[in-house]
Structure 1
Amino acid sequence: MTTLSAMPCRALLASLILLLNITQASAATTLVNNVNGYTFNDEGSLIQFTSLVIDEGKVATLNTDKSADAFDHVIDGKGKTMLPGLIDAHGHLMGLGANLLEVDLREADSASDAVERVAAYAMGNTDQPWLIGRGWNQELWPDRAFPTASQIDSKLSARPVWLVRVDGHAGWANSKALAMAGVTAETPDPEGGQIMRDASGKPTGVLIDNAMALVESQLPEETREQLSARLNAAGAHLLSEGITGMHDAGISHRVYDFYLAQTLNQRMPVRVYAMLAATDPKLSMMLDNGIITSPDDFLHIRSVKAYGDGALGSRGAALLEAYSDAPHQHGLLLTQPDDMDSLFTKVLGAGFQLNYHAIGDKANRLALDAFARVFGESGGRDLRNRIEHAQVVAPSDLPRFAELEVLPSMQPTHATSDMNMAEDRIGEDRMKGAYAWQTLLESGIAVPLGSDFPVELANPFYGIHAAVTRQDRNNNPVDGWYAHEALTTEQALKGFTLDAAYAAHMEDKVGTLTPGKWADFILIDRDIFTIEPQDLWKTQVLATYVAGESQYQAD
């Protein structure tokens, strides 16, 4: 059976065009009036409007003077605030879907609580060969200690258990899962990974970064039905949060194939800008297929996600100097420096944007250095390449983003989630280049914003609140955490709309409600430009529209 990914792109796009022409032939004009509308114009300035006209799914005009009788349909906005559909510039769509359908450990307040939650899930899902969950965070537990396999074994020993840390950079297995993966005291640490061990050298059950593959290689391959269930669950959740588009940070060939099929059948729930996983064995084949852009703009594939280091919470972020709270640790490099130039050249040479995961200052410097070298030797500077997270950057490296035109793709809620441990990890001096949103904006570079869901919650108003206040949702700390790096509400909204669209080469399609762009918009329960910043996170989405069609209505 021929898969869609093996089809010539022209044949795929011809099929999509035919379907879209059929759909658009019956399109009608719609007036959305009586709104308190905000959008950016094409120059990036914030403007207001009171009505919007939609023709064939796209914005035709703002502030029309025509009577409502001139339109086929009329939507009364009832004075509510309208914004462009929000775009999350860094998330994991299928990971979110899995998280919604599997064991969610985000609220677990200890290792034993996490185990109890898995045990409860196991009782109701006796047919599942593996018990899989995500979301634990030992930094929020009283002892702040990594959990162990024996803690799971005390409740669940017959079935393999695999629980991924909230940041996706560590996993916690029971003894059954370790045995199936062949992980023993004699198993060496893989390059770019670490097997946590006790004093005798025995694996404790926690695997960091590349070591996670030892267990994950044993997981059953997802069925097409499971992928569909995950996509539908994630899509419904994002639409309820006002997210009409997202950048999917690292998809496998299997998901690539699945997305093409879903797009052909017009079953993509939100617009997806997909990044190919640099680690996928079929990367070359996907690059050879070329850039994919569906005519309805529900799927764009023109970028690659590469992995520089791990995360700060698991001490996998690669640092130039040792961790302040672990003097013998410098983090992990998931892509080795000797391999970077060939990878960068391969991706940029294919005309694909390269989006490089870098959290620690060492990983960020290595990425900036590699971009500079490859741009000078073989070009690719105009592809709007990105560093994903850009979380801890040496202060001297901050201006280099604008100099190299490399976009820092950042997630505001990471700062408020990390503030309980970040300074412990890196010390006060290195905080000068950490979560430096305003400094980067002022250097002259766009800063697309996202959440990194399911690492963080997908709600974009949590991100806007964190960006503006540098506080958690309990309004702590009172004056904000390193508040000089806070954004204005306008800057934060731009990061979740126009700047995110720009980072995906889609600013002529989405990101604003200006004529010619898709009519992706939301109605919300308050005016985010007039309320107190501390209340931004309380914003509720009342309705979500994609291409002028209702996709979510609050109860």
Structure 2
Amino acid sequence: MRIMYTNGNIFTMNLEEPLVQSIVIEDEEIIDLGTNEDMMLQWGRDNTTVIDLDGKYAFPGLIDSHLHISSVGINAQELDLTGIESKEKLLNVISNKARLIQPGEWILGRGWDENIFPDKQIPTIEELNYVSPDSPLFLPRVCGHAFLVNTKALEQSGYHDKLSVPYGGTVVTSTETNKPTGLLLETASTIITDRIPIKSYEQLKHAVKWGLEDALRVGLTGIHTNDPTYLNGAKQTYKLFNELINQEGIGPRSNLLMDYKYLEELKDAGMYAGYGNNKVMIGAIKFFADGALGGRTALLSEPYADSSGNYGNAMYEKEELLQLMRNCREFDMPIAVHTIGDQALIDVLDNLDKLKPVAYRDRLIHVSILNDQLIERLKSPNRIIDIQPRFVPSDYPWIVDRLGESRANLSYPFKTLLEKGVITAGSSDAPIEPLNPLLGIHAAVTRKKIGENHNGYNEAEKLSMYKAFKIFTVGGAYATNEENMKGTLERGKLGDMTVLNKNPFSMECADELLETEVEMTVIGGVIKYRK
């Protein structure tokens, strides 16, 4: 099938033909592009479907290079605690939910953030027990690295004070009573999650479908998504995405990051990096090297400024992590490592330097705190970093308290990374941050919260609008070694486009992005979403 999109302002992100009016796509690939007159003369025959863009603005399809799309869908079915502005309101939401469900039924949700509470105090376990006396609850923080639980949840997990907590995790206890406070950190969450009832296949499929459709609504033609922990394993994850995308035609192209614990399952299933097709493909093996700044579990080379002697948490001993990475290399798998603190990144890079590259690039996810030496070490054609611009408005100004001003100024240095030649891809880490890529682009350009009246946090690291779009297009293609297939609109590449009602490159103020709407999401020439 041949489709021509005409009468548009089509920004190709290709310097040789930066702006065209029409583009022709056949069998998913771009076969020609140029002026309306030339394309109509060459291709405007009866067997070509012509779609009028009516002057709208088209771009290479936007790609989110790190998120958890199933969790986006699951969160839509559970308590959304994002943006709740006080401990009292959080407890009220839990109380209302507890009254609506049967005793013993789990209360699940995500998104609380004590940094936006006036007193920055999280609920105590006594307060959680009061609002949910009969139902166990498990509520991950917005970062996904700290968790609130009540006594019912601990009872169902079989917790006792002699219980062995997985390495890297902490059950926070009172200094006075030595009893749990209701806060778990990092891998300690597994003592609870292992006891939460497993969702049915149809429930999970519904959640993934919701997430994929939401991705199309916000203009995403590609996602790199990490889901098997939520979807009960690697094989089931692939099956769900294959059914929805390849068989039912729902959702953007999806590259599936698989957690290390599913490596053997991948081997047994005959799956490997690149397994699948250009719509659903197995990607890298995912590790966590450390935690997050919000809960002071990101691993730092110097202690936290607001927690004397606390360097954060390593998820593995350095040598153990090296062995796990070697196990991946025996299977020729690329590695994707969550590294937020600078010491975590140092440890990971030291290990990567001991390994030979494979066909696909290794990925460093977040890399929030950097210095000149680390940036030089990231400059490699075999490495790419996945950044989340929305972390800047979410983490400032409290990150200055965590790190001190000098280290905070070395955080999220997006412009420096690009100027130094580090291959960089943009992402949301949804549901931790909003899925909408235009919000990520806005954050990369402004480096401040929506509505704030200042020049931005560490404004020297602001990106231009063009470069911000580039990390969500070209960068996303490089992350999966698909730069010859997507990322720009050129002959021979996939016909994926995001069509907007406004031109971001002519905006006088970046806040106009907040009023910009997605008109169409086009994948392989086919309209998958239309406003």
TM bin, normalised by shorter chain, reads over 0.9
**1:388 Cα deviation after fit:** 0.3
* TM-score, L = length of structure 2: 0.93
Equivalent position of 2:236 in the other structure: 258
Residue 163 of structure 1 pairs with residue 139 of structure 2? yes
Rounded Cα–Cα distance in structure 2 between residues aligned with 1:119 and 1:290: 45
Equivalent position of 1:515 in the other structure: 491
Equivalent position of 2:25 in the other structure: 54
Report matched runs for 1:379-398 at 5 Å.
379-380=356-357, 383-398=360-375
**1:56 Cα deviation after fit:** 1.9
Pick which of 543-552 and 121-130 moved more.
Answer: 121-130
Q: Does the Cα contact within 8 Å between 2:417 and 2:424 map onto a contact in 1?
A: yes
Report matched runs for 1:274-353 at 5 Å.
274-280=256-262, 282=264, 285=267, 289-295=271-277, 297-353=278-334
Gaps of at least 5 residues in structure 2 are: none
Q: Match of 1:163, SS? A: strand
In structure 2, what residue type is equivalent to 1:333? A
Equivalent position of 2:124 in the other structure: 148
**1:321 Cα deviation after fit:** 1.0
Q: Match of 2:505, SS? A: coil
In structure 2, what residue type is equivalent to 1:59? I
In structure 1, what residue type is equivalent to 2:40? K
Q: Match of 2:307, SS? A: coil
Rounded Cα–Cα distance in structure 1 between residues aligned with 2:289 and 2:269: 20
**1:54 Cα deviation after fit:** 1.6
Q: Match of 2:512, SS? A: helix
Rounded Cα–Cα distance in structure 2 between residues aligned with 1:324 and 1:483: 23
Report matched runs for 1:15-414 at 5 Å.
28-41=1-14, 47-63=18-34, 64-67=38-41, 68-126=44-102, 129-199=105-175, 200-249=177-226, 251-252=228-229, 254-262=232-240, 263=242, 266-267=247-248, 268-280=250-262, 282=264, 285=267, 289-295=271-277, 297-374=278-355, 379-380=356-357, 383-403=360-380, 405-414=382-391
Rounded Cα–Cα distance in structure 2 between residues aligned with 1:404 and 1:548: 30
In structure 2, what residue type is equivalent to 1:278? Y
Q: 1:430 aligns with which of 407, 421, 426?
A: 407
**1:250 Cα deviation after fit:** 5.3
In structure 2, what residue type is equivalent to 1:445? V
Deviations 1:263-321 (A, max 9, x none): 156235221111110134745636853334333x1111131111100000010100111
Rounded Cα–Cα distance in structure 2 between residues aligned with 1:250 and 1:229: 14
In structure 2, what residue type is equivalent to 1:261? K
In structure 1, what residue type is equivalent to 2:501? D
Rounded Cα–Cα distance in structure 2 between residues aligned with 1:404 and 1:61: 30
Deviations 1:39-84 (A, max 9, x none): 222xx77711111112122222112432444553221111011112
The verdict on how the C-alpha distance between 1:274 and 1:474 changes in structure 2, with shifts beyond 3 A counting, is same
Rounded Cα–Cα distance in structure 2 between residues aligned with 1:126 and 1:167: 29
Q: Does the Cα contact within 8 Å between 1:461 and 1:538 map onto a contact in 2?
A: no
Identity of aligned residues (%): 29
Q: Does the Cα contact within 8 Å between 1:465 and 1:535 map onto a contact in 2?
A: no
Deviations 1:157-177 (A, max 9, x none): 211111110011011111100
Rounded Cα–Cα distance in structure 2 between residues aligned with 1:231 and 1:127: 28
In structure 2, what residue type is equivalent to 1:32? Y
The verdict on how the C-alpha distance between 1:396 and 1:116 changes in structure 2, with shifts beyond 3 A counting, is same
Pick which of 51-60 and 172-181 moved more.
Answer: 51-60
**1:120 Cα deviation after fit:** 3.0
Rounded Cα–Cα distance in structure 2 between residues aligned with 1:403 and 1:510: 21
Q: Match of 1:205, SS? A: strand
Q: Does the Cα contact within 8 Å between 2:225 and 2:254 map onto a contact in 1?
A: yes
**1:106 Cα deviation after fit:** 0.2
Aligned pair count reads 519
Q: Does the Cα contact within 8 Å between 1:308 and 1:335 map onto a contact in 2?
A: yes
In structure 1, what residue type is equivalent to 2:234? Y
Q: Does the Cα contact within 8 Å between 1:275 and 1:304 map onto a contact in 2?
A: yes
Pick which of 227-236 and 120-129 moved more.
Answer: 120-129
In structure 2, what residue type is equivalent to 1:274? L
**1:472 Cα deviation after fit:** 1.5
Deviations 1:16-51 (A, max 9, x none): xxxxxxxxxxxx21111111111222xx77711111
Pick which of 457-466 and 440-449 moved more.
Answer: 440-449
**1:405 Cα deviation after fit:** 4.1
Q: Does the Cα contact within 8 Å between 2:32 and 2:39 map onto a contact in 1?
A: no
Rounded Cα–Cα distance in structure 1 between residues aligned with 2:519 and 2:260: 38
Pick which of 81-90 and 344-353 moved more.
Answer: 344-353
Pick which of 134-143 and 45-54 moved more.
Answer: 45-54
Pick which of 126-135 and 453-462 moved more.
Answer: 126-135
Q: Match of 2:148, SS? A: strand
The verdict on how the C-alpha distance between 1:281 and 1:71 changes in structure 2, with shifts beyond 3 A counting, is closer
Q: Does the Cα contact within 8 Å between 1:171 and 1:206 map onto a contact in 2?
A: yes
**1:480 Cα deviation after fit:** 1.2
Q: Match of 1:454, SS? A: coil
In structure 2, what residue type is equivalent to 1:386? R
Pick which of 467-476 and 456-465 moved more.
Answer: 467-476
Q: Does the Cα contact within 8 Å between 2:234 and 2:266 map onto a contact in 1?
A: no
Rounded Cα–Cα distance in structure 1 between residues aligned with 2:381 and 2:499: 37
Rounded Cα–Cα distance in structure 1 between residues aligned with 2:269 and 2:316: 19
Q: Does the Cα contact within 8 Å between 1:94 and 1:231 map onto a contact in 2?
A: yes
Deviations 1:470-495 (A, max 9, x none): 1221144x111101111111111111
Deviations 1:439-467 (A, max 9, x none): 11111121101000000001101110111
The verdict on how the C-alpha distance between 1:155 and 1:304 changes in structure 2, with shifts beyond 3 A counting, is same
Rounded Cα–Cα distance in structure 2 between residues aligned with 1:518 and 1:167: 34
Gaps of at least 5 residues in structure 1 are: 1-27
Rounded Cα–Cα distance in structure 1 between residues aligned with 2:408 and 2:312: 17
In structure 1, what residue type is equivalent to 2:267? M
Q: Match of 2:109, SS? A: strand
Rounded Cα–Cα distance in structure 1 between residues aligned with 2:16 and 2:335: 28
**1:408 Cα deviation after fit:** 1.8
Rounded Cα–Cα distance in structure 2 between residues aligned with 1:283 and 1:193: 25
Q: Does the Cα contact within 8 Å between 1:97 and 1:232 map onto a contact in 2?
A: yes
In structure 2, what residue type is equivalent to 1:167? C
